[in-house]
Amino acid sequence: SKIIIIISHRLCRIFSFLINRVAYLGNTYLSFVLYQEDDEHVAHVDFKEQKEIITLPDFAGQIELPSLYEDAKKGVSICRTFFDISIYPKSDPQLNVKNTLICHVTRFFPPPVRVLWTKNNVNGTLNLFSQLSFIPEEGDIYSCSVEHKALQQPQTRVWDVEITEPSTGPSVFCGVGLALGLLGLATGAVFIAKRN
């Protein structure tokens, strides 16, 4: 059985490619494609060297895999287009109560990614899986921007502080129910007293 595996950061199945891990050297990454036949390593692609590397021993004879490097480049570029960014609070926001915003970035390749926080368009803190502790005030607008070498420009998600006031419906319903219950109790007491 023949399979092609792209080694990178995240699991991403696209056509015949399986993305799975990446090795780092300083600020650069080594990403390569592994070509296997019957569980034996036959070849891989070194993106730094921009070529296929056949790993069969000399006595086995040489094989040609002419499109392996180009196929690997296409597979990597396909995986770069699946960014997904979401921003949400950890718990329901309340005015002047500390909370945490979460910016979750998924399905990105290659691994280097940077997350920037802004409050009312002023820079804040940064992290990979990023959270921002905040105290919401009416009218605040928070944004999470993600910069990555696969993006031509940063992708930004915006979250507006929308405070939902507690509903008075349950309190009114409880009050009316209590009043009707007391009225029923009083009416019952009057009928019992008249009967006696």
Q: Give the chain's domains with CATH numbers.
A: 2-79 (3.10.320), 84-160 (2.60.40.10)
Residue 54 has what pLDDT? Answer: 76
C-alpha–C-alpha distance, residues 145 and 142, integer Å: 10
C-alpha–C-alpha distance, residues 72 and 78, integer Å: 10
Residue 180 has what pLDDT? Answer: 93
Residue 53 has what pLDDT? Answer: 76
Record the pTM. Answer: 0.36
Residue 32 has what pLDDT? Answer: 46
Q: In degrees to the nearest 10, what's the CA dihedral of 116, 119, 124, 127?
A: -40
Query: How is residue 18 annotated by DSSP?
Result: E
Q: pLDDT tens digits, the chain, 196 residues: what are they?
A: 333 333 333 333 332 233 333 333 233 334 444 555 555 667 777 777 888 777 776 666 666 766 777 777 776 666 555 677 888 999 888 888 889 998 888 876 666 677 778 887 766 544 456 778 888 888 889 998 888 777 788 888 888 887 777 777 888 888 899 999 999 999 999 999 888 7
C-alpha–C-alpha distance, residues 52 and 65, integer Å: 8
C-alpha–C-alpha distance, residues 40 and 4, integer Å: 12
Strands (E), the chain: 2-7, 12-14, 17-19, 23-25, 28-30, 32-37, 40-46, 51-54, 84-89, 99-106, 114-119, 122-127, 130-134, 141-147, 155-160
Residue 23 has what pLDDT? Answer: 31
